[in-house]
């Protein structure tokens, strides 16, 4: 036998709460190696002593077949002098000041636990909090690192003899599973499952405490129940999500591709946007005006209990009042949701951190996150370069914030729209927890240039910290660069509804040449008036009037356009005066506002109840077989202006001629694609750049992005999209963070 050697191994990444220590223990036992393994606030630390070939086998197995939930970022190995270890042990956790170990997101119930849960005679049969090292709550119950039971909300539940035996046995898959419990010693629910099922069958609305907060639940096949939930929640049109028993149940309601199936059954269990079957016998009130549904599978044993042979799907929407954060506490739920829910299903395991469901969509065979929360947060985005400790405050809508340290960018879970005190409180409490959890003390704070955003106000109120303002659309493109690992300049196409521009106007139809260090605005849509500011966003007919006046001027009075008959003449006169006299009107180049205007002109929607409603309904009706496009002009200057007045002239003629809305919508979408391609071709000719990044909420439009990507690639461009972070404002904070880091370096 060769002379024994000793090696110290440090492993960084998602390596705590994922079964790493029992994995190391059992592997070391099998390979007859001595030493120890422990959790530290910097990751996992091991020492191995024994035959050199066996240690190499250990390292090979570690790299190639780690525990299922582990995500290893770095393995460092140091040679040490042998000390004569005679066994392998699991040691107590060690706190290393200033160091961090990423915390695992919450994970859906694994197949082994589901088998325990569904097997009569098993001591966890039907127990709604069954979990093991490979599944269950993580982030939502963690108070502090290292991830040990006393530092979680499970600390108050003392394990029974059997659970403790599992917890202390390295050969058991529940070894050091911090939420480990059973019916005798763990959390419990307050309403019987049989009663919950009965109430749902009767058309009642339930508030059910879940993993990261409450859900409001009802029967999706009962139209009266769905409409009652809308009425009580004051949510007139915004789609409700569905939870279905299994993939087979999803396929009776929606069309599910292989890639969408993979997203549904992944351990993250996001809400997946699927095309629904028109003949599915579900309430038409679930997603009015939409041809898609948000569908997810059960991700906790409690969810599985709600389904039986008679129940294949449930409405499962966030338990909150309109535009407020999801509710987490039992008393809070009784107070805030009492006017909505007929009954409550509580449990007594505290939720330390509120986390809403994530939303994803499959495009080009790849899952793309639209709302990054449960199952994803707080898993970091690993950057290819070191970063300082920075806080990026994010945007106003779909807010997330971002903290950076080492090579990591930690995005918060979805916070929501920062438009009320309750959401701002959620923002502050989450920021405080994440700074403590990951031991980040920011030296720099990055913020959006819009001085009315609450996130910006919060940043500017902070003292003794360097502040860096970041332009909204530059942040969009930088976010796409960061997650795709690109450092060089790109052509950035940033399309959305709102973003404060460097000239004080509202941008949103932008073509940039950009990298982390800076950007140059090379082209944008021609400005029109946003009459009444935010009121115009809620009433797209005002945008329609702006575009009509910009295109036709005084000739608007001769247009035989249904829009001008639908809206009272007095209202039109008032808004026209505001536009022409520039009263309470700002100028905007936003692509999102152009979509709103067209939706109103063609008669789809003059007012909206939620963000992007008009644009979504415009996309829904577009006929995919149409190839035509409208004319447009690119006016030279610095920057170039994209003039859509020629398009508007023809589009209005088509509306007056009563061409179908589906045909007009398709031609409009095709025109936007043609604009993207033409501007990018001209920029490539001047800048010799063939990489294009598409970012911004408008690129959630599948009709638009499919055709834009295909057309750009046909012209030889490399096209980069978002997948790990949302293309909408939920990804803004990542862009702000990397831009601020670049500013520090320069």
- Write out the H or E segment, with its range, that includes residue 76: strand 71-80
Give the Cα separation of 312 and 310 in Å (integer): 7
Nearest C-alpha neighbor of 481 from the set 132, 737, 149: 737
Assess whether pLDDT exceeds 70 at residue 99. no
> pLDDT tens-digit profile of 29-41?
999 999 999 888 7
Tokens 């949701």 locate to 337
Pick the CATH number of 102-186 from 1.10.1040.10, 3.90.870.30, 3.30.70.260, 3.10.290.10: 3.90.870.30
- Write out the H or E segment, with its range, that includes residue 587: strand 585-588
Write phi, then psi, for 227 (nearest 5 degrees).
Answer: -65, -35
Average pLDDT rounded to a whole number, residues 143-163: 91
Assess whether pLDDT exceeds 60 at residue 497. yes
Average pLDDT, the chain: 94
Nearest C-alpha neighbor of 483 from the set 698, 721, 706: 721
Which residue ranges does the chain devote to CATH 3.90.870.40? 193-363
* DSSP secondary structure string for all residues of 176-223: T-TT---TTTS--BSS-HHHHHHHHHTT--EEEE-SSSEEEEE-TT-H
Give the Cα separation of 288 and 291 in Å (integer): 8
Average pLDDT rounded to a whole number, residues 140-155: 89
- Write out the H or E segment, with its range, that includes residue 241: strand 241-244
What per-residue confidence (pLDDT) applies to 101? 67
Question: Hey, is 571 helix, strand or coil?
Answer: helix
CB 445 within 8 A of CB 390: yes
CB 700 within 8 A of CB 613: no
Return the minimum-mean-pLDDT range out of 40-44, 59-63, 256-260: 40-44
Average pLDDT rounded to a whole number, residues 15-37: 89
What per-residue confidence (pLDDT) applies to 262? 97
Assess whether pLDDT exceeds 60 at residue 415. yes
Compute CA distances 355 → 239, 326, 327, whole Å.
19, 8, 10
Taken in order 547, 552, 557, 559, the sign of the CA dihedral is negative
**What DSSP character marks residue 380?**
P
Q: 5-90 sits in which CATH class?
A: alpha beta
Per cent of the chain over pLDDT 90 is 86
What per-residue confidence (pLDDT) applies to 586? 94
CB 581 within 8 A of CB 498: no
* DSSP secondary structure string for all residues of 299-336: -SHHHHHH-BTTB-EEEEEESSSTTSPPP-SHHHHHHH
Please name every residue paired with 361 in a beta bridge, in sequence order, or none if there are none.
368
Question: 69: Cβ–Cβ under 8 A, 6 or more apart, which residues?
Answer: 14, 17, 18, 19, 104, 107, 134, 267
Kindly indicate the confidence band of residue 100, based on its pLDDT and cuts at 50, 70 and 90: low
Tokens 């309430």 locate to 283
Prior bond of 636 cis (ω within 30°): no
CB 401 within 8 A of CB 393: yes
Assess whether pLDDT exceeds 80 at residue 316. yes
Assess whether pLDDT exceeds 60 at residue 1. no
Check whether domain 523-720 has CATH 3.55.10.10, yes or no: no
Which residue ranges does the chain devote to CATH 3.30.70.100? 5-90
Tokens 């070391």 locate to 28
Tell me which CATH code domain 380-470 carries.
3.30.420.360
Return the minimum-mean-pLDDT range out of 82-91, 101-110, 258-267, 297-306: 101-110
Assess whether pLDDT exceeds 90 at residue 295. yes
> pLDDT tens-digit profile of 564-611?
999 999 999 999 999 999 999 999 999 999 999 999 999 999 999 999
Return the minimum-mean-pLDDT range out of 67-76, 171-180, 572-581: 67-76
What per-residue confidence (pLDDT) applies to 148? 84
Give the Cα separation of 108 and 212 in Å (integer): 12
Q: How many CB atoms lie within 10 A of CB 614?
A: 28
CB 530 within 8 A of CB 543: yes
What per-residue confidence (pLDDT) applies to 701? 96
CB 375 within 8 A of CB 268: yes
Please indicate, yes or no, whether the overall pTM of this predicted structure exceeds 0.85: yes
Give the Cα separation of 672 and 674 in Å (integer): 5
- Could you write out the three-class secondary structure of 32-46? CCEEEEEEECCEEEE
Task: Give Dmax over CA atoms of the chain in angstroms.
Answer: 98
Kindly indicate the confidence band of residue 103, based on its pLDDT and cuts at 50, 70 and 90: confident
Compute CA distances 406 → 280, 337, 386, 573, whole Å.
50, 42, 5, 58
Provide, for the chain, the percentages of residues in helix, strand and coil under a 3-state DSSP scheme, each rounded to the nearest 5: 35, 25, 40
Give the Cα separation of 325 and 136 in Å (integer): 23
CB 423 within 8 A of CB 415: yes
Nearest C-alpha neighbor of 155 from the set 178, 173, 136, 138: 178
Return the minimum-mean-pLDDT range out of 68-77, 441-450, 588-597: 68-77
CB 215 within 8 A of CB 207: yes
Bridging pattern class, strands 444-448 and 381-392: parallel
Give the Cα separation of 165 and 161 in Å (integer): 6
Burial of 649 (0-12, 13-18, 19+ CB in 10 A): middle
* DSSP secondary structure string for all residues of 625-688: T-------EEE-SSSEEEE-HHHHHHHHHHHHTT--HHHHHHHHHHHHHHHHHHHHHHHHHHH-
Assess whether pLDDT exceeds 70 at residue 208. yes
Give the Cα separation of 473 and 638 in Å (integer): 18
Give the Cα separation of 695 and 698 in Å (integer): 8
> pLDDT tens-digit profile of 323-359?
889 999 999 999 999 999 999 999 999 999 999 999 9
Across 5-9, 532-536, 629-633, the highest mean pLDDT is recorded for 629-633
Q: How many CB atoms lie within 10 A of CB 85?
A: 17
What is the second-level CATH architecture of the domain 193-363?
Alpha-Beta Complex (3.90)
Give the Cα separation of 325 and 332 in Å (integer): 12
What per-residue confidence (pLDDT) applies to 98? 66
Q: How many CB atoms lie within 10 A of CB 271?
A: 27
Give the Cα separation of 633 and 653 in Å (integer): 18
Which residue ranges does the chain devote to CATH 3.90.870.30? 102-186
What per-residue confidence (pLDDT) applies to 437? 86
């Amino acid at each position: 036998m060769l002379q024994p050697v000793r090696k110290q191994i440090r492993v960084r990444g998602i390596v705590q709460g994922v079964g790493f220590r029992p994995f190391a223990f059992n592997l070391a036992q099998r390979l007859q190696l001595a030493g120890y393994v422990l959790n530290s606030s910097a990751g996992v630390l091991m020492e191995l002593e024994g035959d050199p070939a066996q240690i190499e086998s250990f390292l090979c197995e570690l790299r190639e077949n780690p525990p299922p939930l582990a995500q290893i970022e770095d393995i460092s190995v140091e040679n040490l002098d042998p000390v004569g270890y005679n066994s392998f042990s699991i040691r107590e956790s060690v706190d290393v000041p200033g160091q961090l170990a990423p915390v695992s997101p919450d994970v859906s119930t694994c197949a082994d636990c589901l088998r325990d849960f569904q097997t009569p005679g098993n001591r966890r049969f039907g127990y709604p909090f069954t979990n093991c090292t490979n599944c269950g709550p993580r982030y939502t119950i963690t108070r502090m690192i290292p991830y040990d039971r006393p530092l979680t909300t499970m600390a108050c539940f003392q394990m029974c003899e059997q659970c403790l035996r599992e917890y202390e046995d390295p050969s058991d898959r529940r070894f050091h599973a911090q939420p480990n419990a059973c019916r005798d010693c763990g959390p419990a629910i307050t309403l019987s499952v049989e009663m919950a099922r009965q109430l749902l069958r009767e058309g009642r609305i339930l508030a059910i405490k879940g993993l990261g907060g409450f859900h409001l639940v009802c029967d999706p096949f009962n139209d009266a129940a769905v409409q009652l939930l809308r009425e009580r929640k004051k949510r007139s049109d915004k789609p409700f999500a569905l939870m279905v028993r299994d993939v087979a149940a999803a396929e009776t309601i929606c069309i599910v591709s292989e890639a969408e199936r993979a997203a549904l059954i992944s351990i993250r269990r996001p809400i997946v946007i699927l095309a629904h079957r028109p003949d599915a016998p579900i309430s038409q009130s679930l997603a009015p005006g939409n041809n898609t549904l948000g569908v997810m599978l059960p991700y906790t044993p409690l969810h599985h209990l709600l389904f039986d042979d008679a129940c294949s799907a449930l409405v499962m929407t966030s338990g909150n009042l309109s535009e407020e954060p999801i509710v987490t506490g039992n008393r809070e739920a009784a107070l805030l949701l009492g006017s909505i829910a007929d009954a409550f299903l509580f449990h007594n395991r505290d939720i330390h951190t509120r986390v809403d469901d994530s939303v994803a969509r499959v495009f080009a065979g790849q899952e793309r996150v639209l709302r990054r929360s449960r199952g994803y947060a707080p898993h970091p985005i690993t950057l290819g370069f070191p970063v300082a400790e920075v806080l990026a405050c994010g945007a106003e809508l779909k807010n997330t914030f971002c903290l950076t340290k080492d090579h990591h960018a930690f995005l918060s879970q979805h916070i929501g729209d920062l438009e009320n005190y309750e959401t701002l409180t959620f923002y502050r409490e989450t920021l405080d927890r994440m700074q403590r959890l990951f031991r980040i003390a920011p030296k720099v704070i990055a913020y959006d240039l819009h001085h009315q955003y609450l996130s910006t106000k919060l940043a500017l109120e902070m003292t003794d910290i360097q502040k860096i303002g970041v332009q909204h659309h530059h942040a969009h493109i930088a976010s796409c660069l960061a997650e795709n690992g690109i450092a060089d300049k790109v052509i950035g196409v940033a399309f959305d509804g709102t973003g404060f521009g460097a000239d004080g106007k509202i941008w949103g139809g932008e073509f940039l040449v950009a990298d982390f260090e800076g950007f140059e605005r090379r082209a944008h849509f021609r400005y029109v008036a946003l009459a009444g500011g935010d009121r115009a966003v809620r009433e797209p007919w005002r945008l329609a009037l702006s575009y009509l006046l910009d295109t036709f001027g005084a000739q608007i009075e001769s247009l035989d356009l249904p829009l001008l008959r639908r809206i009272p003449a007095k209202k039109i006169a008032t808004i026209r005066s505001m536009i022409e006299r520039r009263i309470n009107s700002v100028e905007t180049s936003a692509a999102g506002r152009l979509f709103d205007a067209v939706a109103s002109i063609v008669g789809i929607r003059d007012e909206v109840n939620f963000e992007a409603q008009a644009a979504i309904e415009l996309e829904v009706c577009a006929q995919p077989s149409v190839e035509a496009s409208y004319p447009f002009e690119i006016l030279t200057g610095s920057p170039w202006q994209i003039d859509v007045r020629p398009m508007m002239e023809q589009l209005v003629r088509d509306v007056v001629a009563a061409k179908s809305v589906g045909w007009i919508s398709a031609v409009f979408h095709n025109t936007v694609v043609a604009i993207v391609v033409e501007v990018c071709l001209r920029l490539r000719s001047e800048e010799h750049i063939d990489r294009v990044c598409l970012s911004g909420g408008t690129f959630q439009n599948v009709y638009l992005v499919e055709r834009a990507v295909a057309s750009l690639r046909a012209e030889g461009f490399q096209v980069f999209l978002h997948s790990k972070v949302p293309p909408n404002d939920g990804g803004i904070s990542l862009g702000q963070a990397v831009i601020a880091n670049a500013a520090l370096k320069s």
